[in-house]
Amino acid sequence: MSHDTKIPAAPKPITIPKTAQTAALVATLAGVVAFFYALRSGHPDTAWSGYLIGAFFTLSLGVFGVLWLSILYLSRAVWSVSMRRIPEAMTAWLLPGGILALLVGLGGHTLYHWTHSDAVASDAILQHKAPFLNMTMFYALVGISLVLWLLFATVMVRNSRTQDKTGKVALRRQNVKLSALFGVVYAITFSIVSFYLLMSLEAHWFSTMFAVLTFTDMVQTGTAFVAIVASWLILQGKLKGLLNENHLHSLVKMMFAATGFWAYIYFCQFMLIWYGNLPEETIYFITRSQNGWLPFLIILPIIKFVIPFIYLAPRANKRKPRRVIAMAVLLIVAQFWELFMMVSPAVGHGEDKAHAHPPVIEGLIALGFLGLFFLVFSWALGRAGAVPLKDPHMRACLDYHQ
């Protein structure tokens, strides 16, 4: 392969249309209204469930930006260079998103049974887990995780932007080293955050597959978001000569692989729980098959695996931007649905256990988080050069074919 391709002139910074930003602002306001409406109408469980879903959903998108940069640096994925600004802009959410995620603690008494002192006093399992499951540790460990993510993101994005000016290859090498370190940090911290925010909703339940499952969710949804933006850039011709269907093909292959991996992990978690038949494990699926939740649970693998897998298998569907956008949007919706199934059936205890219901309020609140995330993302995307033209792998990226 020849790398003699001439690098084009620097394109203008990417600007998101005002109509899209206005729609995101409307979605944000709708989410705020829905949250406070649910609180004032006497449904704090619904309000905080929606808040937790939205906070975790968007926080995962933010940290995915750092993780994806790390994976691409370490794997020398030259095809991704021209779309690097997308995950870099996603990391801008880590500061506001991290603060909003910590505010989940304000609804802790509604969401988490282990925050009730009387419940802990009468429950040997909760007493055993109390050194980990308490609000002091919640704020400390989740807060430390967020700070670490933000530090790695700041340094890696700064190196990338500085390379635009200086062209120093050493900055890329530094990011490769940081990427290797971040992989270890991420594995520990994202497990901690997902344990606190999601798994501890049912403090008696545990799964050794849970951290891997939430990781897979994040990769599948994160690549879907990047695919939406990349497809839009191709359709609009904003990076003509720099981003094309060959680059999109490789990106969508990652999304397709994550879809298959999600099915594998989700089935493994179910199979191990079913085979072991232990009460402390089976309660997770029993809860989601009672009180009207079973049809909601059955929908999940259909929209998160069956439809995407069949649709994305043909080569053509990985290379056509409009087709990619359609499936990526479905995966975004499917991620909301999975978080809804993780959170809402777990809210309440005993006779007060939540019953199945259409996720109207939760959906509006989560949409508000996504709207705010998109506004921050749009702002960050327009603050840097559209493409890292001085990256040493840029010519290889432009020569890339699938």
The reported pLDDT for the residue numbered 148 is 98
The reported pLDDT for the residue numbered 1 is 44
Tell me if 172 is assigned to some domain: yes
Contacting residues for 341 by C-beta, under 8 A, at least 6 apart:
288, 293, 296, 297, 300
> What is the total count of domains within the chain?
1
Tell me if 253 is assigned to some domain: yes
Tell me if 24 is assigned to some domain: no
All residue ranges of the chain with pLDDT < 50 are 1-2
Tell me if 22 is assigned to some domain: no
Chain centroid offset of residue 297 CA: 20
The reported pLDDT for the residue numbered 401 is 86
Tell me if 349 is assigned to some domain: yes
The reported pLDDT for the residue numbered 2 is 47
How far apart, in whole angstroms, are the C-alpha atoms of residue 241 and residue 36? 47
Entry pTM: 0.96
Q: What is the DSSP letter of 305?
A: I
The reported pLDDT for the residue numbered 372 is 98
Contacting residues for 136 by C-beta, under 8 A, at least 6 apart:
none
* pLDDT cut 70: percent of the chain above it: 98
CA dihedral sign of residues 266, 86, 337, 281: positive
Residue ranges of E strands in 271-356: none
How far apart, in whole angstroms, are the C-alpha atoms of residue 289 and residue 294? 4
In terms of residue numbers, what domain contains 380?
Answer: 31-398
Tell me if 12 is assigned to some domain: no
Tell me if 50 is assigned to some domain: yes
Tell me if 15 is assigned to some domain: no
